[in-house]
Amino acid sequence: SIGQAAWLLRALWPQVVLSFPHFGPGELSIALRSYWWQLQYCLQEFALTGLFRDHPVVDLAGAPTGSRRWESKAMDQVKMKLLRPVFSRLGEMSLQHVAACLTAVAPPLGKPDILSPEEMSFVRTEMHEAFPKESLLDECGLASSAWQERFWQGELQVLPVSALLELACGFREFGATVPWVMKSLLSELHLR
């Protein structure tokens, strides 16, 4: 059940935080998805019932009802110890893991959204660092070589269509202005 998942995530949280620097890209994306989706569920439940339940990091059962301090502390803990470290390592990840991370933190269809405008900007900035614009590469004298293009195409070709769509939607959702990425993603989707 959702309550058991929240209990398990809370029990594992201290170990996850300690082990985080040693996680590889796969573990990073799994941790982000698990905790972020549980947090999103908690917020959606709060929007419907007015009660915080099943938080993935902090047991809010003992918190006073409507205590904004507890709620804020619990959210900040996930954001500072999970969101920022994962996205600061975006450049280490395969495209499949990048897509999983972008999908995990994508804004929900309904309110509330976990990410503030500043955090959305942080994600966008980290995406731009991991996927620089072509003009930036040219300015640094790092024009793409044949092996880089083959590497990129190889990464795209191993992704299932669903991951390509997640990646394209993630770039668009977070307003990443990297034309070469979108062009290559849409080209690969067109080929399939």
Tell me the CA end-to-end span of the chain in Å, nearest whole number.
38
State residue 134's pLDDT score. 61
State residue 135's pLDDT score. 46
**Which has the higher per-residue pLDDT, 92 or 113?**
92
Q: How far apart are CA 37 and CA 24, in angstroms?
A: 20
Instruction: Report whether 41 contacts 30 (CB < 8 A).
Output: no
Residue recorded with tokens 């942080």: 122
State residue 23's pLDDT score. 92
Above 80 in pLDDT, residue 4?
Answer: yes
**Which has the higher per-residue pLDDT, 5 or 46?**
5
Above 70 in pLDDT, residue 49?
Answer: yes
Half-sphere exposure of 13 (CA within 13 A, CB side): 21
Above 70 in pLDDT, residue 84?
Answer: yes
Predicted TM-score (pTM) of this structure: 0.77
